[in-house]
Amino acid sequence: MPTILILSLAIIFLTACLAPTLVRYLGDRAGWLLAFAPFSAFIMLVAQAGMIEAGEALVYQVDWFSVLDTSFSLRLDGLSLLMALLVTGIGGFIVIYAGGYMHGHPQLGRFYLYLLAFMGAMLGLVVSDDLILVFVFWELTSISSYLLIGFNHEQKETRWKALQALLVTGLGAMAMLVGFILIGTVTGSYSLAEITRMGDLLQGSPWFTAIVILILGGAFTKSAQVPFHFWLPNAMAGPTPVSAYLHSATMVKAGIYLMARLNPSFAGSGLWEYTLAIFGSLTLLLAMFLGLFQKDVKSILAYTTLGVLGVLTMLLGIGSEYAIKAMVVFLIGHALYKATLFMVVGSIDHETGTRDVTLLRGLRKLMPISALAGGLAALSMSGLPPFFGFIGKELIYKAGVKLNGAELIFLVVALVGNLIMMGLALKAGVGPFFGKPNHAVLPKKPHEAPLAMWLGPIVLSVAGLVIGIIPFWVTEFMVAPALAAIRGAEIAHLDLALWNLVRPNLPLLLSGVTVLGGFFVFLNRARFWAVADRVLTTIQPYGAEAMYGRIFNATIWFSKAQTRWLQTGRLHDYVFLIVMTTVGFLTWAIVSFGGLNFSVDWAAYDLLIICLVIIMIIAALVAVTGRSYITVLVALGVVGFGVALIFAYYGAPDLAITQLLVETLTVVLFMFVVLRLPPLKTISGRFTRLRDGIMATAFGGLITILLLKAVNIQFDHAISDQLAAMSYPEAKGKNVVNVILVDFRALDTMGEIVVVTVAALGIAALVKSGLKGKGKRS
Amino acid sequence: MNKLLIEFLSGYTATNQWAAILPEIMMGVLALCLLAAEMVLPKNRQAWVPRLAIWGQVLILMIAFGFVGRCSIGEFQYFSGLITQTDVTQIMRGFFLVSSIAVCYLGHIYLSKQTLPQTEFYALVLIISAGMMLLVQSTHFVMLFVALETVTVAFYVLVAYSRTSQFSLEAGLKYLILGALSSGILLFGIVLLYGIAGNPELLGASRDSLNYGELMNFVILNMNNMIVKIGALLVIAGVCFKIGAVPFQIWVPDVYQGAPTPVTAYLAVASKAAGFIVLIELVRGPFFGLQDFLVPVLSVIAAATILFGNIAAVAQRNVKRLMGLSGIAHAGYLLLGVIAVMRGVDWAVYAVIFYLVTYLLASFAVFGVMSIAAGEEDANQELDHYESFARKRPFLGGVLACGLGSLAGIPPLGGFIGKLFLFVAAFQAELYGLLIIAIVGVVISIYYYFGWIRECYFSSSSTAVVKDISCGATSSDRFLLGALTVASIVIGILPAALPIIR
Amino acid sequence: MTVGLNAFILVAGLLFAIGLLGVILRKNTLIIYMSLELMLNAVNLALVAFSRYNGTMDGNLFVFFIITVAAAEVALGLAIIVALFRLRQTVMVDQLTALSR
């Protein structure tokens, strides 16, 4: 039933819209009701598992817009189903949890609106088949993430961090969009299902490198790979349910999802595989290193999330069957235990008022259920049997030992990463509950969190244990189809039973090393902390985050400087800029033509005209330099009348008369105004005057040259004489202009009349006296 | 009189079909009716004037699209080639009508807070709308000039309309002087083209050398003539002033800030749109032969425009200037579409129009909220005034957020699809460098648009003394702003709802 | 005894340049405005000259439109300048910088 897809999306989005109203009436109990939306979507999707396992895909498609050959198409296959189940399943518990965590928050309704909108967007992202649709949902997740990170917006710091996440992911998303357009152009299709079948076409295209880089730009920023990793720990400024859900279990996996989704098209190319493997392992190492010296439990978890994202990317890059298998298992396991741990940490924070690992101790008696959930999750994260995390880690080592040559480095990276991750898991998930209680130093007196806040953790952590022991259902219905989708292969039967893995072989040995090493790290955490801290303070100023800050500040500085320099508010400068640009244009054009050559025949001019012209030019010069209004006005009048005389000389008496009348009118108008104004003062400083003078002269010279150039070609006098002969001596000829004005160019004439009307109207509005009172709004 | 000339003229006058410009004429008549109504109506009934203006235009809109024809009409020339009507001009008629209706409504909000003459405002808005309709239809430089001046002269008045405000008058003066300067430059370009294309010595010289079609033939035959190129360059420079492209953008922030908010909206949306359609018609028509020459020029302008607008907006705190500067950036994106048209991607014309429509919807939503939120002096609206705005006015805050989101190109709002179309067109035209610059610009724009949204939604309400910004929205405000927002969302989800592009 | 087109074009160019000089040089809005008028006159002159030598009427007609439009612009510009002067008691561009940055 393809409508299931659109139905589950609709349920979640509609519930999102209803959330504020529900919260208004039900308070924080609304969470229980709202959780029905994700859970019902979960059940509807689970019901499709059989069909997906049989190798079919659920497709829902309606036409969208045809210019780009895109359609509104949703498609549910193995990978989508896996992601969709994580989104809705974990989402449901988060919704319930948030009701307890945000208890009494005045804007809980809005919080639920954003959270459910995010859930819908994320679900949409993983089930959409159209690239443009993917982008739409992708951006929606960014926006809702922004709103959620910044939810506690009273601190300036929080708002800054929210914006940082938005800008970094936004930059990547735009790059990704270009990548999508490129893919669409190369393959002629925007459908993911079709694109994944056209790997050869893509890899053979000259755009392939650009496509990979652009797509990875989107995926790496979203999934916080090096060098874009810094936004993720900062995003932990959001409320804990948000961190648990968006920044650990779901949204940050969007980048991984996209890479996995496109893997069938790109796999096999060295560029794709090595880039992923290298960046993934760098992310893992960096995250583990930075994680070592965190004191805040939530930060520790943030860095381990970063590490896991690195592992997943690396595994995708390695790309062997085991690696992909490991990736899928790891993905599921991580979602389960990390959501749990975040929620438990949130409960601790909620109950004790602190998240500082150095203060938290011995809470197990006071918060037994949370302690159980946290402990189980931490063990799963440590990769101990019989938890699901163990299977994931075993598979990683299995994939690793198959590597050879220089690629073995990835195995070493995985080993080191897992080892530290285990140490951190114990530090965050177990540490706060054991040891001697010191409730005196805690800001609040702790007791067990309410039902809403332990239900999710306990269910998810127990699930991690149960599916570790009996993995059959999960591997058969979720892992195998997802594996097939990522590898672009047929669905095959998997055998991931726990007892098959617990055999004495190299991977198991490596697991043992991990466990021992992990305990070592856990016990020596204080010493590691000191070393890491020292290294960090030296490299921090050169890190990616510092670069981000520098670019950010530079942009703002540049913006201010540019405005200060250009937008002075002085009209004079504006005019100067425009004239200068025009001069630049002209000079460029002329220079590119290799200069000018022309000649003027100065001889044999009518003395009268020459005198007239000389007078006009002198008058014009006077006009622009005159020291009193009257002088300037008179000079201006002289020029105007001179032009009129030339018109007359040229056989255009109508024009001459019009010009005379208008000129007179203009002078009179100016006169009226001049009488009201104070006398003229000095013009401008010597330097400015010189600069401006040169500028204007250059421009004028250029224009004159151009005009001359335009007419330098010999004209055929016969035609012009013919027209003159036609319009002059004959009586009717005088009317040619009129005839043309009212018939030939009637529309222009009407327009001209409108201009005059507009001017009249405007002047009336601007100067008419006796203002009316304010208008009233109806 | 010369027999030949008579035949020539009568051939021309035969195409004087006034019915073809019925909507424009009706707009003019409506403007006159308003002036008459002001005199006839008693003092306590003056409120009918804006209603008459708005509903009259709604009627004209219905007539224009009900009787004259729908969006898909052929290409017809009227008035001896002065104007040509195509599907583009028909769509733009609707565009200008919708924007002038919105401006009249915003003007109504604005004028209710001011002690200023009322009727002239609406009359001028109507005339501008008619002028812009003719402007995009004109295929003759004389017509272009006259229509352009109608619009520009009326805008001088509207920008300076608030004669009790020094900001408004200063903006009016700046617009006046710079506008006249740019008109002079434009005219000079036209004169050059006229002189060279009418030169009987040259191949393809025409007796009607100001006509687009004739000029196009001439330019194709003389594409290496320097005067032709310079004339075209100067004309383009004049048009660039109208659309606010770098370096002719310099007037934009000051004028946008000083002008009354409805006029700012009108300038930002309709005037810019008209400029772009004129530009497209120029590059497809008379300057068709100059593509190799103009594409690099316009590419440089587009790149500079995108970067300038976005970077300058980053540090801006005055929201009217912010809208102006971001509007410059939008002009840059639109130039991408124009260049794509020049490179032979024909459907890019519709991408540009689509973008303009989404820009109209989003901008009027934002300017509408600004009009309502403004105090008596609306030039000084700072970002700080919007602190916790969404909490006090949830509806207006939502409209503002959607409008700004659409301007930033966030899916699923209309602005996103608009940008997508433009970018795809630019890609097909192989404008890779420009595309990268545009993308960088879009990312920068997220910063300032979300800076504003952040101000509305995320502000430290605990410490701030909340200034109560004027009155709230009436039910008709809600209707208009709600309709604009819904339209933005619907277009974003179903672009085919707009019968421009499929 | 015909005067060559070049001469007129030269004059037109000079007038245009002088107008520009005024626009750039002067600080008084009124004078700037007058200088803009000068530039339009130059354009008109060039148009008529071209019209005559090319033997087409369009240039002649165009001048009509320019003259009229320019007159309308002048009237309007003066109205704005007067209104501004009433409010600010100045017409110097350097003092009109309320709008900046």
Contact check, Cβ <8 Å, C57/A737: yes
Asked if A762 contacts B156 with a C-beta cutoff of 8 angstroms, the reply is yes
Contact check, Cβ <8 Å, C43/B184: yes
Nearest CA in chain B to C50: B195
Q: Which residues on C lie below 8 Å from B169 (Cβ)?
A: 80, 83-84, 87-88
Q: Is the pTM of this model over 0.90?
A: no
pLDDT range class, residue A14, cuts 50, 70, 90: very high
- Domain coordinates in residue numbering, chain B: 3-497
Element spanning A58, H or E: strand A58-65
Query: Between A and B, how many residue pairs show a Cβ–Cβ distance under 8 A?
Result: 292
Task: Please say if the pLDDT value at position B437 is more than 60.
Answer: yes
CA distances in angstroms from B193 to B152, B189, B199, listed in the order given: 22, 6, 10
- pLDDT tens, position by position, A547-580: 888 888 998 898 888 888 888 888 888 888 888 8
- pLDDT tens, position by position, A450-463: 888 888 899 999 99
> Closest Cα of chain A to B229: distance in Å?
8
pLDDT range class, residue A546, cuts 50, 70, 90: confident
Contact check, Cβ <8 Å, A774/B114: yes
> Closest Cα of chain B to A709: distance in Å?
7
Residue A603, pLDDT score: 46
Chains in contact with chain A (at least 3 beta-carbon pairs closer than 8 A): B, C
Q: Which residues on C lie below 8 Å from B167 (Cβ)?
A: 98-99
Query: Between B and C, how many residue pairs show a Cβ–Cβ distance under 8 A?
Result: 123
Residue A731, pLDDT score: 35
Task: Please say if the pLDDT value at position A598 is more than 70.
Answer: no
B198 at interface of C, judged by CB pairs closer than 8 A: yes
Most confident stretch, A119-128, C1-10, C86-95? A119-128
Nearest 5°: the CA angle B105, B111, B116 is: 140
Of residues A694 and A216, the one with the higher pLDDT is A216
Nearest 5°: the CA angle A404, A407, A413 is: 120
Of A571, A659, A704, nearest to C10 by CB-CB distance is A704
Q: What is the ipTM metric for this complex?
A: 0.92
Contact check, Cβ <8 Å, A743/B188: no
Of C43, C56, C76, nearest to B188 by CB-CB distance is C43
B12 at interface of C, judged by CB pairs closer than 8 A: no
> Closest Cα of chain A to B261: distance in Å?
16
pLDDT range class, residue A691, cuts 50, 70, 90: low
Residue B16, pLDDT score: 66
Q: Which residues on C lie below 8 Å from B184 (Cβ)?
A: 16, 19, 36, 39-40, 43
Q: Which residues pair with B84 in a beta bridge?
A: B77
Average pLDDT, chain A: 81
Contact check, Cβ <8 Å, A147/B248: no
Of B200, B428, B443, nearest to A167 by CB-CB distance is B443
Mean pLDDT of A104-110: 85
Contact check, Cβ <8 Å, C64/A708: no
Query: How far apart are alpha carbons B387 and B400 in whole angstroms?
Result: 13
Query: How far apart are alpha carbons C38 and A622 in whole angstroms?
Result: 12
Lowest mean pLDDT among A54-63, A248-257, A734-743: A734-743
- Cβ atoms within 10 Å of B69's Cβ, excluding its own: 14
Ordered domains of chain A (ranges, CATH): 318-334+344-523 (no CATH), 571-714 (1.20.120), 715-764 (no CATH)
Task: Please say if the pLDDT value at position A499 is more than 90.
Answer: no
Of A571, A582, A771, nearest to B174 by CB-CB distance is A571
Contact check, Cβ <8 Å, A558/B188: no
Contact check, Cβ <8 Å, C48/A629: no
CA distances in angstroms from B450 to A555, A683, B401, B409, listed in the order given: 16, 45, 9, 12
- pLDDT tens, position by position, B16-45: 677 788 888 999 999 999 989 988 888 888
> Closest Cα of chain B to A182: distance in Å?
8
Question: Tokens representing A252?
Answer: 């940050």
Query: How far apart are alpha carbons C8 and B196 in whole angstroms?
Result: 15
Q: Which among B424, B430, B436 is the top mutation candidate for probing chain A, defined by the most A β-carbons within 10 Å of its own β-carbon?
A: B424
Contact check, Cβ <8 Å, C72/A759: yes
Contact check, Cβ <8 Å, A579/B181: yes
Nearest CA in chain A to C96: A570
Asked if A737 contacts C60 with a C-beta cutoff of 8 angstroms, the reply is yes
Q: Which residues on B lie below 8 Å from A171 (Cβ)?
A: 443
Residue A724, pLDDT score: 46
Q: Which of B437, B419, B427 is nearest to A182 (CA)?
A: B427
Of C16, C39, C98, nearest to B170 by CB-CB distance is C98
Contact check, Cβ <8 Å, C58/B208: yes
Contact check, Cβ <8 Å, A776/B459: no
Query: How far apart are alpha carbons B120 and B160 in whole angstroms?
Result: 13
Query: How far apart are alpha carbons A130 and A90 in whole angstroms?
Result: 25
Q: Which residues on C lie below 8 Å from B166 (Cβ)?
A: 84, 87-88, 98
Q: Which among A570, A711, A723 is the top mutation candidate for probing chain C, defined by the most C β-carbons within 10 Å of its own β-carbon?
A: A711
> Closest Cα of chain C to A604: distance in Å?
7
Of B131, B250, B313, nearest to A566 by CB-CB distance is B250
Per-position b or e across A430-443, b if 16+ CB within 10 A of its CB: bbbbeeebeeeebe
Question: Which alpha helices (DSSP H) does chain C contain, by range?
Answer: 5-25, 29-54, 58-88
B223 at interface of C, judged by CB pairs closer than 8 A: no
CA A386 to chain centre: 42
Chains in contact with chain B (at least 3 beta-carbon pairs closer than 8 A): A, C
Contact check, Cβ <8 Å, A700/C22: no
Q: Which among A617, A672, A677, A745 is the top mutation candidate for probing chain C, defined by the most C β-carbons within 10 Å of its own β-carbon?
A: A677
Of C17, C38, C99, nearest to A699 by CB-CB distance is C17
> Closest Cα of chain A to B268: distance in Å?
18
Nearest 5°: the CA angle A541, A544, A548 is: 95
Nearest CA in chain A to B182: A578
- pLDDT tens, position by position, B377-389: 777 888 888 888 8
Asked if A498 contacts A525 with a C-beta cutoff of 8 angstroms, the reply is no
Interacting residues of B412 by C-beta distance below 8 A, sequence separation 6+: A136, A140, B489, B492, B493
Radius of gyration, CA atoms only, chain A: 38
Ordered domains of chain C (ranges, CATH): 5-95 (1.10.287.3510)
- pLDDT tens, position by position, A381-418: 888 878 888 888 888 888 888 888 888 888 888 888 88
Q: Which residues on C lie below 8 Å from A762 (Cβ)?
A: 76, 79
Task: Please say if the pLDDT value at position B471 is more than 70.
Answer: no
Residue B382, pLDDT score: 86
Query: How far apart are alpha carbons C45 and B242 in whole angstroms?
Result: 26
Residue B463, pLDDT score: 45
Query: How far apart are alpha carbons A112 and B40 in whole angstroms?
Result: 56
Q: Which of B401, B434, B429, B428 is nearest to B415 (CA)?
A: B401
Of residues A694 and B296, the one with the higher pLDDT is B296
Give contacts of B 130-159 with C, CB under 8 A: 141-142, 145-146, 149, 153, 156-157
Contact check, Cβ <8 Å, A575/C24: yes
Asked if B316 contacts B325 with a C-beta cutoff of 8 angstroms, the reply is yes
CA A72 to chain centre: 22
Query: Between A and C, how many residue pairs show a Cβ–Cβ distance under 8 A?
Result: 261
Q: Which of A36, A162, A30 is nearest to A98 (CA)?
A: A30
Question: Tokens representing A331?
Answer: 């993905």
